[in-house]
Amino acid sequence: MASPPARAVTETPMSLQQTITRIAAELGRPALVEDHRRSVVAYSPHPDEIDEVRRRSILEHRADPAVHSWLSRLGVYAATSAVRVPGNPELGMLPRICVPIGRSGIVFGHLWFIEPVEPAGRETPLDLARASASAELVAEEWARVRMSLEGESAREDELARELMLGRAEVRRAAAAELVESGRFESGLLRAYVLSPGAPASSRGPAAEPLERAARRARQALGGRGVLALARRDHAVVVVPSATGRFTDTDRIAGVVAESAAEAFGANTVAPRVAVGGEASVVAARESYREARRALGIAASFRLAPRVLHWDRLGVYRGLDSAAAAGLRSGDFQPGLERLAAERDGDVLIDTLTSYLAAAGHVQTAAARLGVHRTSLYNRLNRAQRILGIDLDDGLDRLGVHISLLLRAGEATSDDGDPTAR
Q: How many residues does the chain have?
A: 421
The predicted structure's pLDDT at residue 252: 92
The predicted structure's pLDDT at residue 71: 94
pLDDT digits (tens, 9 = 90+) for 187-215: 889 999 999 865 444 444 457 888 888 88
pLDDT at 12 over 60: no
The predicted structure's pLDDT at residue 72: 92
Range with lowest mean pLDDT among 29-33, 76-80, 118-122: 118-122
The predicted structure's pLDDT at residue 309: 96
CB of 332 within 8 A of CB of 403? yes
C-alpha 172/C-alpha 418 separation (Å) is 32
For residue 126, give every residue at least 6 positions away whose Cβ sits within 8 Å of its Cβ, in sequence order, or none: 27, 29, 97, 113, 115
AA letter at 402: I
Backbone phi, psi, residue 114, to 5°: -85, 130
Query: DSSP assignment, residue 172?
Result: H
Q: Give residue 84's pLDDT band: very low, low, confident or very high (50, 70, 90).
A: very high
pLDDT digits (tens, 9 = 90+) for 376-419: 999 999 999 999 999 999 999 999 999 999 988 787 665 544 44
Q: Which of 84-98, 120-134, 240-254 has the highest mean pLDDT?
A: 84-98
Mean pLDDT for the stretch of residues 249-271: 83
Helices (H), 104-248: 128-165, 168-180, 207-220
CB of 369 within 8 A of CB of 351? yes
Angle between helices 14-27 and 128-165 (to 10 degrees): 170
For residue 299, give every residue at least 6 positions away whose Cβ sits within 8 Å of its Cβ, in sequence order, or none: 412, 417, 419, 420
C-alpha 274/C-alpha 191 separation (Å) is 8
Average pLDDT, the chain: 84
Q: Give residue 3's pLDDT band: very low, low, confident or very high (50, 70, 90).
A: very low
Q: Select from 74, 73, 117 the least CA-distant residue to 92.
A: 117
C-alpha 373/C-alpha 366 separation (Å) is 6
C-alpha 190/C-alpha 280 separation (Å) is 9
- Could you give the 3-state DSSP secondary structure of residue 74? helix
The predicted structure's pLDDT at residue 226: 87
Other residues' Cβ atoms within 10 Å of the Cβ of residue 112 = 24
- Could you give the 3-state DSSP secondary structure of residue 85? strand
